[in-house]
Amino acid sequence: MSTLAKKVKKKGEEEDEYKTFHFPEFDVAGFVNYELEQTSATLISVALGLLVAIVSWRMTLLGGTTGAMAVDLSLLALLVGLGGAIGLPFLIKAVRTKAETYRKGDWASLIALYVLLWLGLWSLFLNV
């Protein structure tokens, strides 16, 4: 066999190796543990959002009955809600031991969930 034929045969074997696709190994236990950890962090975010929405609503109502302090308490309620968004990662890190392994996207989704839930419930409670 000539050297050219050997090269062509060897090249054909390499191409066949690349054409076959294999799925990577899937870590089922790691996936389930990760999702359970994210579920618990999500529940903390929802609970804090609900709690701060109720506090903001009561502060706004209290400010509305006192006249001149209405704007001040509404702004204070807004600051309480934003403070909750800033404090959420610290709360989750204090409660959950695996919070150090969260990615940036995990934190962004937890904070976004909190802010949207807090603002939505606060506005809903004010219009009831």
In a domain, residue 95? The reply is: yes
| Phi and psi at residue 22, to the nearest 5° | -125, 130
Q: Is 1's pLDDT higher than 70?
A: no
Cα 56 from chain centroid?
A: 22
**Amino acid, res. 97:** T
Question: pLDDT band at 124, cuts 50/70/90?
Answer: very high
In a domain, residue 25? The reply is: no
DSSP structure class, residue 2? -
In a domain, residue 54? The reply is: yes
User: Alpha-carbon distance 27 to 30, whole Å?
Assistant: 5
In a domain, residue 6? The reply is: no
Q: Helix and strand tally (H, E) in the chain?
A: 4, 0
Q: Which domain holds residue 57?
A: 40-128
- What's the rounded mean pLDDT across residues 34-45? 96
The larger pLDDT score, comparing residue 30 to residue 14, is at: 30
Q: How many domains does the chain have?
A: 1
User: Alpha-carbon distance 90 to 105, whole Å?
Assistant: 16
In a domain, residue 60? The reply is: yes
Question: pTM for this one?
Answer: 0.77
In a domain, residue 113? The reply is: yes
In a domain, residue 13? The reply is: no
